[in-house]
Amino acid sequence: MMLPGEIKIKVCGMSRAANIAELAELQPHYMGFIFYPQSPRMITPVSAELIRYIPEPIKTTGVFVNEEIDKVEAMIRQHGLKAIQLHGNESPEYCKTLQAFNVEVIKAFGIDEDFDFTVLESYVDAVDFFLFDTQTQNYGGSGKVFNWQLLDRYNLQKPYFLSGGIDLQHVEEIKKINDKRLYAIDLNSRFEIEPGLKDINKLQRFLKELIEVQD
Ligand SMILES: O=C(O)c1ccccc1NCC(=O)[C@H](O)[C@H](O)COP(=O)(O)O
């Protein structure tokens, strides 16, 4: 299934070989792999070996949380990652260092009522995209949706991924978002059979409904 040119799709938290191959056939724009050992979606060493064989134009994305920069660099080289997504307290300088490795840098922020959007200003020249996720005790993959109206407070031009608990039921709401900075939709735990194993049929339904919406 060819995805529409407008909005990009990222499917995150892939960890099983056969499931990765099935998803690759749907050609999401981004396929995310968790390199955070505390996550139930942590990529296994065997599955990680497949990442470099995932065909372009799918952008293979490594997700890290406060990882040593040398380790991230090693993973970029070992697996040929095309994008890096950061879910910890990584600084603008840390992000800038990674950009020099010729990868897209996506910096995630957990959004809630108390989020101070001015913190984003110092990241503008150090990242390619922001990713707005739901603020929780953990770093990601919560399955919880934040109040998208809070993004009315976002006043920078940097494009962003919308993330956090997105499910089939949100297609219509996504259709109503009138914001040219919305670059991609990030799908994860709401499309899982179990952590790390995606329901390909459900993903296909989401993509089909979004395509119908966009046509
Ligand atoms: O998914 C995880 O287990 C995870 C753990 C630690 C850091 C990031 C993680 N996921 C990153 C993602 O990009 C998720 O897609 C994003 O948090 C939204 O997840 P969900 O709320 O399950 O849709």
pLDDT at site 6: 84
What is the CATH code of the structural domain delimited by 8-214? 3.20.20.70
Please tell me the distance from the alpha carbon of residue 211 to that of residue 205, in angstroms, as a whole number. 10
Provide the residue type at 84 as one letter. Answer: I
Count of CA atoms in the C-beta half-sphere (13 A) of 208: 6
pLDDT at site 2: 44
Residues of the chain with pLDDT under 50: 1-4, 215
For residue 61 and ligand 1, the question of a CB distance below 6 A is answered with no
Domain boundaries, the chain: 8-214
Give me ligand 1 centre to Cα 11, in Å.
10
DSSP-assigned letters across all residues of 154-202: ------EEE-SS--GGGHHHHHH---TTEEEEEE-GGGEEETTEE-HHH
- 32 CA: nearest ligand 1 atom: 13
pLDDT at site 214: 53
Name the phi and psi angles at 79, rounded to 5: -110, 0
For residue 87 and ligand 1, the question of a CB distance below 6 A is answered with yes
Provide the residue type at 6 as one letter. Answer: E
